Chain A
Amino acid sequence: MPVISLKDIKKIYTLGDNEVHALRGISLDIEAGEFVSIVGPSGSGKSTMMHILGCLDRPTSGQYCLDDKDVSSLSGDELADIRNKRIGFVFQGFNLLPRTTAAENVEIPLLYSRPVMGATERHERAMKALEVVGLGDRAEHGSNQLSGGQQQRVAIARALVNTPSLILADEPTGNLDTKTSIDVMHVLQDLRERLGITIVLITHEPEIAAYGTRIITVRDGAILSDEANVPHEGLAEPVAAQMLG
């Protein structure tokens, strides 16, 4: 049973008189435990894809099943609950709240859990998630006291605190240097291997995409290629050379 199943997903934006076809019929299955990298230049439609996969946007047509549930026609509140329980987001800009501790940031998704979760349980689960990303000792640090890599790891902890079936990472290394980028990619690989969480990574950098088990290349709103990949274990020579210039 695939975690994600897209059938002929189309997304058309209307800008004045023009129709922009952001996605021109995408069909795709992602199985549990896969680490899928979606690559493509800007304007290829990968961001639109990620918004639809993340239930932040609805397709114009087509069917999207998440965990075997058709989510293409759910109401706003139902989509909010899906995002809360099934999807964890990791963004390029970390999106941590300023002047808030790491633990408090990780707790945010739990604030919107239904039924309502008590403060103690929220804190315990946040601590557990922080330990998974190796930041158990930084829980009470303010988000601005952490380095970029640490901030992104807090964001990853926030994404997995509600035990989602899917983590969506949108250019997670875009604001990081090479070394911390590799670090963050290892954390994601680790989550897949140890916890079996499905990961969908969106990036425009082939070197980062290479950490996935499967690479999907998108161009002009359609899938150009879809190949299995032997993921990088570490800082492979050619990649490192490329990245470090």
Chain B
Amino acid sequence: MFQLIPINIWMATRSLARNRLRTFLTMLGIIIGVSAVLTMVALGTGARGSVEGDVRSAGTNLVYVRAGNYTRGGASVGVASGLGAATTLTDADARAIADEIDGITAVSPGLSMRTTVTSGASRSFAQVQGVGPDFADANMWDIDPGRMLADAGNEAVIGRALADDLFGKGFDPTGKNVRVRDADYTIVGVTDDGTEDHDEKLFVPWRAMQSSQNIRHLDFIVIAAEEAGQASRISDEVKALLRQRHGIGAASSSQGYLGAQGSGAGGVDDFTVETQAAKALTKGLYTPAAAFALANLPKLDEVTTAEMADTLDRASDTMTILLASIAGVSLIVGGIGIMNIMLVSVTERTREIGLRVATGARSADIALQFLIESVTLSLVGGLIGLVLGLVTSRIIGWSLEWPVSVPIPAMALALGIAALVGLIFGIYPARRASLLDPIDALRSE
């Protein structure tokens, strides 16, 4: 019987090709089911990967202090204290944090600007950050080739992508000079850290940046907590310390962005403290409105990355169940469509069945023929759905700048399930066909 499978596949394709429109309409259920599920899996997996990447990235449990404050709708906010505009955050603050707060492994002052980086004839518009040597430890950088820059001097560490852009792909730029706003830096190392966008940046010593720009303040301070779960305590202590140092009254209400600062009697904070967990959640994946809502959840800054990963796992479990239900429903509907059309086909082709039986087909041959036809129908539908799903998810991913990825097992599973649907819903029509009495079948008009 199995020797007849290739012949039957050929016969099935012939017979399905004879009724193209009907075949296509029958497949539509499976096509839509498979492609919808695949698109959602692609977007879901991609988004999950991106968020997890952020949450689990090297240097978890970071606390960021940024100069300025961003208060949505706060009446008392002065323009000068807008995020990044304040000039009150200083190196002394960074040192005080390192000295007075326990459980900190690394503190790096930071400055940031967007400008043109040139090397010889090639130039690139990039973000240049002034950082301290601790910045590498805080982010768990793996510098290869080269080493981390020193506290001062004219050394620079370059992101891999920026190095590729300036010097050509894969080129080892250590020892080369780059020029940033009339200051020359010698590259001492390359960092390849895709998760934190460090890839496209140039890092120079913060002191060098301060002096080249003739400024005395910092844009941010990065603090690395010693262990998971310490980030929220540290951020609280940092807030208290900075308020004290900047002469700001005790926090009385929390009206601010990212739930990390309050406005006191002496005015609003001129800094923003945010934990990495909050930063990861508010980045990219969600709309600004959702980000705002999420970031303002009370106690978000107390969430550890471990808890965050847990929550994500649970969320993606929920998503998986949701996807599976949608897939299940659409495939059942598709399967019923296939069964329906196969039953119609059996009735229409009664004479053909009679003829085949008269010329020597056994009832198993007839059953096999119709079974293979329904499996072919669903499998081809599954394949079309697969391609459509991949294309759709690419288009959505591209237009929304959303990371997309489809695991190979998911594709195989989609096809396997499509074939299974054809098999299950094909059994009854195939059995009907094989049980037809050839005498009645030959007589039918």
Residue A177 at the B interface, CB < 8 A?
Answer: no
In the complex, what residues of A have CB within 8 A of residue B14's CB?
100
The answer to whether A89 touches B358 (Cβ under 8 A) is yes
How many angstroms between the C-alpha atoms of A116 and B362 in the bound complex? 14
Nearest CB to that of A84 among chain B residues? B360
| Chain A residues within an 8 Å CB radius of B355 | 89, 91, 95, 97, 108
A80 to B4, Cβ gap below 8 A? no
Using a CB-CB cutoff of 8 Å, which residues 22-48 of chain B contact chain A?
none
With known contacts A51-B439, A56-B438, A57-B439, A112–B358 Cβ distance under 8 A:
no
Quick one: given A97-B352, A111-B7, are A54 and B358 in contact (CB under 8 Å)?
yes
Q: Is the CB–CB distance between A109 and B360 below 8 Å?
A: yes
Question: What residues of chain B lie closer than 8 Å to A85, measured between beta carbons?
Answer: 360
A35 to chain B, nearest CB (A): 21
Residue A95 contacts which of B7, B351, B361, B439 (CB distance < 8 angstroms)?
B351
Judge if B269 is at the interface, Cβ distance under 8 Å. Answer: no
- A81, B358: Cα distance in complex, Å: 10
Closest residue on chain A to residue B361 by CB atoms: A112
B354 touches A112 (CB 8 A): no
Judge whether B360 and A56 touch: CB under 8 Å: no
Residues of A within 8 A of B354 (CB): 95
B281 at the binding interface (Cβ < 8 Å): no
Given contacts A51-B439, A95-B354, contact A83 B359 (CB under 8 A): yes
- Number of B residues with CB within 8 Å of any CB on chain A: 23
Distance to closest chain B CB from A61 (angstroms): 19
C-alpha spacing A116/B357, complex, angstroms = 17
Rounded to whole angstroms, the CA-CA distance of A97 and B362 in the bound complex is 18
B18 within 8 A of A: yes
Chain A nearest CB, measured from B367 CB (Å): 12
Q: Is B365 an interface residue (CB 8 A)?
A: yes
Residue A113 at the chain B interface, CB threshold 8 Å:
yes
**In the complex, what residues of A have CB within 8 A of residue B352's CB?**
95, 97
Other-chain residue from B359, B364, B438, B439 in contact with A158 (beta carbon distance below 8 A):
B359
CB <8 Å contact, B360 and A89: no
* Residue numbers in A under 8 Å from B362 (CB-CB): 76-77, 80-81, 112
The smallest beta-carbon distance between B130 and chain A, in angstroms, is 75
Alpha-carbon distance between A159 and B355 when the two chains are bound, in angstroms:
11
Which residues of chain B have C-beta atoms less than 8 A from A83's C-beta? Answer: 357-360
Within 52-103 of A, Cβ neighbours of B (below 8 Å) are at 54, 56-57, 76-77, 80-81, 83-85, 89, 91, 93, 95, 97-100
Interface assignment of B3: CB less than 8 Å from any CB of chain A: yes
Contacts of B442 in A (CB 8 A): 56, 91, 95
Q: Flag whether B217 is at the interface (Cβ < 8 A).
A: no
Q: Shortest CB–CB separation between residue A224 and chain B, in angstroms?
A: 24
State whether B360 touches A112 (Cβ < 8 A). Answer: yes
B359 touches A108 (CB 8 A): yes
Q: How far is the CA of A97 from the CA of B14 in the complex (A)?
A: 12
- Nearest residue (CB) in A for B445 is A93
Contact residues of B between 345 and 402, Cβ < 8 Å to A:
351-352, 354-365
- Contacting residues, chain A, for B356 (C-beta < 8 A): 108, 112
What's the Cα separation between A83 and B351 when bound, in Å? 17
- The main secondary structure of chain B at its interface with chain A is helix
Contact of A80 with B360 at beta-carbon distance under 8 Å, contacts A111-B7, A116-B4 already known: yes
Task: Output the least CB separation between A160 and chain B (Å).
Answer: 12
Minimum Cβ distance to chain B for residue A169 (Å): 13
Select one of B359, B364, B438, B439 contacting A84, CB under 8 A. B359
Q: How many residues of A contact B (CB 8 A)?
A: 28
CB-contact partner of A56 in B3, B358, B364, under 8 A: B358
Is there contact, CB below 8 Å, between B439 and A109? no
B360 vs chain A, min Cβ distance (A): 2
Chain A 96-129, CB-CB to B under 8 Å as 1, else 0, gives 0111100000001101110110000000000000
Question: 0/1 per residue, B420-445, Cβ < 8 Å to A?
Answer: 00000000000000000011001000
A81 touches B439 (CB 8 A): no
Output the least CB separation between B80 and chain A (Å).
81
- What mask results when residues 175 to 203 of chain A are scored 1 for a CB within 8 Å of chain B, else 0? 00000000000000000000000000000
Alpha-carbon separation in the docked complex, A146 to B36 (Å):
46
When the two chains form their complex, are residues B4 and A111 in contact, meaning their CB atoms are under 8 A apart?
A: yes
Across-interface contacts of B364 in A (CB, < 8 A): 77
In the complex, A83→B354 CA distance in Å? 12
Task: With both chains docked as a complex, state the minimum distance between the C-beta of A212 and any C-beta of chain B, in angstroms.
Answer: 22
Chain A hits for B358, CB < 8 A: 54, 56, 83, 89
- Near B by CB (< 8 A), chain A positions 217-244 give none
Taking CB atoms, residues of chain B closer than 8 Å to A57 are 439
Q: What's the least CB distance linking B111 to chain A, in Å? A: 76
Distance from B60 Cβ to chain A, minimum over Cβ atoms (Å): 63
| A80 (CB) vs chain B CBs: closest residue | B362
Name, among B3, B360, B365, the residue most crowded by chain A CB atoms within 10 Å (CB to CB): B360
Give the distance to chain B from A94, nearest Cβ to Cβ, in Å. 10
Closest to A161 in B: B359
Chain A hits for B360, CB < 8 A: 80-81, 83-85, 109, 112-113, 162
Contacts of B365 in A (CB 8 A): 80, 112
Interchain CB contact (< 8 A) of B18 among A99, A108, A112: A99
- Chain A residues in 8 Å Cβ range of B361: 80, 111-112
Q: CA–CA, A240 to B398, complex, Å?
A: 79
Q: CB-nearest residue of chain A relative to B354?
A: A95
CB-CB contacts below 8 Å: A13-58 with B: 51, 54, 56-57
Q: Could you tell me the distance between the alpha carbons of A98 and B358 in the complex, rounded to whole angstroms?
A: 17
For the complex, what is the distance from the CA of A57 to the CA of B437, rounded to whole Å? 9
The chain B residue sitting closest to A75, CB to CB, is B362
| Smallest CB-CB A-B distances: 5 pairs | A84-B360, A109-B359, A112-B360, A116-B3, A80-B362
- A-B contacts, 27 of them at CB < 8 A, read A56-B438, A56-B442, A77-B362, A77-B364, A81-B360, A81-B362, A83-B357, A84-B359, A85-B360, A89-B359, A91-B355, A91-B442, A93-B351, A95-B351, A95-B352, A97-B352, A98-B18, A109-B359, A109-B360, A111-B4, A111-B7, A112-B4, A112-B359, A113-B360, A116-B3, A116-B4, A162-B360
